Structure 1
Amino acid sequence: MKNKFLALITVAMLGSGAASAQSGDCATMAALAYDDAKAKNYDAAYPALMKVKEECPKYSLATYQYLERAIESKIDKAEEGDKAELVEELIEVWETRLELYPGKTEKGKIYTDIAQLKYDNKMGSKDELFKAFDKVWVEDKENFTSPKGLYAYFDLVVEMQDEGDRTLQDVFDMYDRVFAKIETEENAAAENLAPLLKKQEEGGDLTSKEQKQIKYAEINLKNYSNVKAALNAKLGARADCDNLVPLYKKDFESKKSDVSWLKNANARLSAKDCTEDPLFVQVSEALHKLEPSAKSAYSLGQLAEADGNGSKALEYYNEAAELETNKSDKAKIYYRIANNYKDKGSYGQARSFYRKALEAKPSLGSAYLQIANMYAKSANNCGEDAFSKRAVYWLAADYASRAARVDPSIASNANQAAAAYRGRAPQKSDVFQSSKNAGDAISIGCWIGETVRIPNL
């Protein structure tokens, strides 16, 4: 009995020693592999990292992070015919990382990276590639934020429609899905950016973290803006009135009691301003009768506006804004109301609605630009003397600059406007002669009612 007990202790000690030895071996192998990877010597790091992955798969998340870089480096250098095996290897690394470290790995990002890698390397049929992106959408939509990935998701449906494997309605549905997602991400980026821009404009010192946040938000806004332009270009003539009207007209009689169908037709015809065709009137009235909604009220506002009935149009637009729950669509309605007031010269009312549009959609740079334009036009009426009147242009320039930063799609025009406004504002010699200093506040009167600070010139 005593001998048996001693044998068990010996086995246990040997087992423990083996485990310790294995742990030590893993640490040694990993340290050498990681050193090469940190030095970006990926050719040397790659086989060592693969050995760590195979023999010590659970040693550290760093193994998979460095392997990803090493394999990506090999893919970049590889000939076209040699990439497929490396791509499969990288996918297997991502999948293993997700399996072993789910708490430290975003599922949506991994699935997006896999789908994008296959798409970029043309691995699989269009339907298979579409399903790879669709998996991201279904399983982790919140983290499906890649501008390239969202574009590819839409692009595949368009290409399949060209080949007869999807319908035109499928293309429209996918466009709406992806466009809405992009606008959600744009709004999130703009909301994060707004307080930082305000702090910067007021002369506050930004931390290095805040400066990085501004840079990151502006890059995202630019990328999303580019993707939206690409989506619209890809949709192209498919979404013009010549295609839309026949598409919906042929089904109207059978679908005129189908609220879902009417909403879809109404939204598409309205978005493309196909308002002159009698079909638009039929769809709008049928929808408003069955289920008064933001969309149907907005469409009836468009019709009233087209007929020259401005007051009735504003009545419908206000109804639409109150009913609308989608922030981007609400912003669109408020923006249209604001434009109507601006065209009438009711600048105070217009600004109120532009601001409501910005509350709903902070990335709507055109609203800032319109406010800047109204301020510039009011400069001669909103100051007590020549200096304060010209100071209005500083305020206009600030709004135009903000427009450029939150909406890269209009950055060029907005920056040009800002430069023009600064050219009309007091110059360095004017500030000197006024006995004022940089940072002094200038109160702007009349309907503007804001304060602007003299900039460093």
Structure 2
Amino acid sequence: MIAGLSVSSKVAAQGKYGASPEDSVECIMNLSLYGEFYKQWKSSGYKNTSVNDAFGPWRQVFLNCPAARLGTYVDGVKMLTYYIKREKDEELKNAYIDTLMMVYDVRIENFGKEGFVLGRKGVGLYQLRVTDYEKAFEILTKSVELEGDASYPDVMVFLMRGTKKMIDEGKIEEDVIFDNYDLCSKIIEVNIEANKDNERKLSNWQNVRGNIDLIFEPFATCEAIIKIYSPKFQENPEDLKMLKKLTKLLDRKKCTDDQLYFDATVKLYDLDPSPESAYMIGKMLMKNQKYSEAIDYLKEGDKLEDNETRADCFLYIAECYRIQNSYSSARTYALKSAGERPDDGNPYIIIGDMYAASTKNCGSNDLEKKAVYWVAVDKYRQAKRVDPDIADIANDRINSYSIYFPIKDDIFFHGLNEGDEYFVECWINEKTTIRAAKN
């Protein structure tokens, strides 16, 4: 049934409808014949024996007029897969698989779309003959390289499976799975964002993300990352590509307490100063309570390209200044963080906390000191208004500090009225509304 299909040179040499007028007539006849039987097979739910009648003329079309139509390859894959799954003889099954792989190759020669077709070929090979995992891995790698964000979901999954298999068999180093996981993750996130209004496609891509996370999970521990990369760093600490990959990976997996993270980040900054490496050094110095040094590095975050990272960077600077009691500078950077990420309530929590901590240093009388709690509560309310996820934290602080508002008699004694505007001076310099403590 499949004899002769291995002669790919013959297939490639034909024109659209064969090499001669006689070939063209025969080609058109075989196209019609196999097409009719194929329709019958398809109508039966791919269950009746019409596939056997279709396969012979399909074979002639494939061999003699491979450029006739794209459907030849789509139908051929369907029929060959059908035979492969039902064939008990291993030698014949392998012959079918070899033919299937050739069908993909000839399709590329005649109809292009190499990246897409290689994806189908790689997935098919891995599913049908896992002993060829190394070849399948190469095919899938090239497919993703060519297709990029247009790669199909199952290609991502089988690339990760193939990567793990290659590592398990000692064919590649473990660091390859980190590269491929990062590559696949970026493609998946692009497609999740692009399909957020398409429930079916969105669910599919989310499932793919879950699948590759499961494959990657055994390699994703800090212990595993450090074990893999420590020798690489010791051997070649000036490998810029490796340093960038390592620092991003350790940062993403929150492995920032290890000395390797600090050493690699500092080395990266020495070799290639950038806002990203400065940001990572700043975070490490902050963890080590070296706040002034941390601020110097973190201030380079102004040049970071990503809004989310800039927001985090400014928030870290605000926290460093807060710890040093430099409240005015801390507020400046907290507000810069809020400007980068308007739906984050944390900057306002920090500002509110600094206001509440200023009661002893602001105001010349008891009412002026307690008025500071008004602006503190204003910030907590602003925090939960922009960020409902932080409402519990904000409400706890509101309840804690509202009891320290001036009482009604004190407000009246100072010639003020509830509901009126009030200006809190000191370093705060903000308008607020007069409120009395509730009994």
Do both share a fold (TM > 0.5)?
yes
Deviation at 1:62, TM superposition (A): 2.2
Distance 1:288 1:47 in 2: 66
The 3 A distance-change label for structure 1 pair 312 and 295 is same
What amino acid sits opposite 1:99 in the alignment? E
**Residue 247 of structure 1: which of 194, 218, 231 is its match?**
231
How far residue 304 of structure 1 moved from its aligned partner, in angstroms, is 2.7
1:302 corresponds in structure 2 to: 283
- Measured against aligned partners, the alpha-carbon deviations of 1:197-255 in whole angstroms (never above 9, x if no partner) come to xxxxxxxxxxxxxxxxx13541343134214412431414485365157425633xxx4
Q: What amino acid is the match of 1:299?
A: M
Establish whether residue 33 from structure 1 lines up as the match of residue 37 from structure 2.
yes
Taking a change above 3 Å as real, the CA distance of residues 187 and 78 of structure 1, as seen in their structure-2 partners, is: same
| Equivalent-residue separation in structure 1 for 2:24 and 2:205 (angstroms) | 51
Q: Is the 8 A contact 2:181 2:216 kept in 1?
A: no
C-alpha separation in 1, matches of 2:163 and 2:23:
53
Deviations along 1:3-51, one digit per CA (max 9) or x if unpaired, are: xxxxxxxxxxxxx995785366245414412421441345434234323
Contact 2:310 2:340 in 1 (8 A): yes
| Residue 199 (structure 2) aligned to one of 204, 215, 221 | 215
Q: Encode CA deviations 1:103-130: one digit per residue, 9 max, x unaligned.
A: xxx3112212222222223444543333
1:44 partner amino acid: T
Counterpart residue type for residue 67 of structure 1: G
TM-superposed CA distance for 1:338, in Å, is: 7.5
Residues 315, 232 of structure 1: CA spacing in aligned structure 2 closer, same or farther, 3 A cutoff? farther
Look up the match of 1:118: 125
Aligned equivalents of 1:281, 1:380: Cα separation in 2: 35
User: Displacement of 1:144 after TM fit?
Assistant: 6.7
* Cα distance, 1:290–1:32 mapped onto 2, change above 3 Å: closer
Q: Between Structure 1 and Structure 2, which shows a larger proportion of helix residues?
A: 1
Instruction: State the alpha-carbon separation in 1 of the partners of residues 188 and 381 from structure 2.
Output: 40
Aligned to 1:92: 102
CA distance in 2, matches of 1:287, 1:339: 23
Q: Aligned residue for 2:357? A: none
Quick check: 1:287–1:296 contact (8 Å CA) kept in 2?
yes
Structure 1 residues 134 and 80 mapped into 2: Cα distance closer, same or farther (>3 Å)? Answer: farther
Matches within 5 A, 1:90-169: 90-102=100-112, 106-137=113-144, 140-142=146-148, 145-167=151-173
Work out whether 1:51 is the aligned partner of 2:56.
yes
Structure 1 residue 190: deviation in Å?
0.4
Q: In the alignment, is the contact (CA less than 8 A) between 1:61 and 1:97 conserved in 2?
A: yes
> Which whole-Å CA distance do the structure 2 matches of 1:125 and 1:67 have between them?
21
Say whether residues 1:336 and 2:312 are aligned partners.
yes
- 1:70 matched residue in structure 2: 79
| Aligned counterparts of 1:75 and 1:120: Cα–Cα separation in 2 | 11
Instruction: Report the number of matched residues.
Output: 327
172 and 396 in structure 1: CA distance in 2 versus 1, 3 angstrom threshold? same
**1:49 match: secondary structure:** helix
Cα deviations by residue, 1:266-313 (Å, 9 ceiling, x for unpaired): 334434444334443333223223321243212212213313466865
Deviations 1:127-161 (A, max 9, x none): 333323333345x2437723443343344444444
RMSD, aligned CA: 4.5
For residues 280 and 145 of structure 1, what CA distance do their matches in structure 2 show?
Answer: 33
Equivalent pair of 2:269/2:277 in contact (CA under 8 Å) = yes
Give the whole-Å Cα distance in 2 for the aligned partners of 1:245 and 1:17: 64
**2:340 aligned with 1:353:** yes
Match of 1:453 in 2: none
The residue type paired with residue 284 of structure 1 is T
Residue among 179, 184, 188 paired with 2:187: 184
- Separation in structure 1 between the aligned mates of residue 53 and residue 273 of structure 2, nearest angstrom: 66
Q: Which has the higher contact order (CA 8 A, sep 6+)?
A: 1
TM-score, scaled relative to structure 2: 0.58
| Structure 2 portions without partners, runs of 5+ | 1-19, 323-329, 350-376, 390-439
Show the counterpart of 1:204. Answer: none
* Structure index of larger Rg: 2
Q: Distance between the aligned counterparts of 1:228 and 1:369, measured in 2?
A: 33
Alpha-carbon separation, structure 1, partners of 2:123 and 2:136:
9
Aligned position for 1:175: 178
Q: Deviations over 1:73-114 (max 9, x none)?
A: 444455594743433333233233223322xxx311221222
SS of the residue 2:49 aligns to: helix
**Which residue does 2:393 correspond to in 1?**
none
Q: What is the CA–CA distance in structure 2 between the aligned matches of 1:311 and 1:238, rounded to whole Å? A: 28
**Closer/same/farther in 2, CA of residues 221 and 116 from structure 1, 3 Å limit:** closer
TM value normalised by structure 1: 0.56
5 Å-filtered alignment, 1:11-26, equals: 22=26, 25-26=29-30
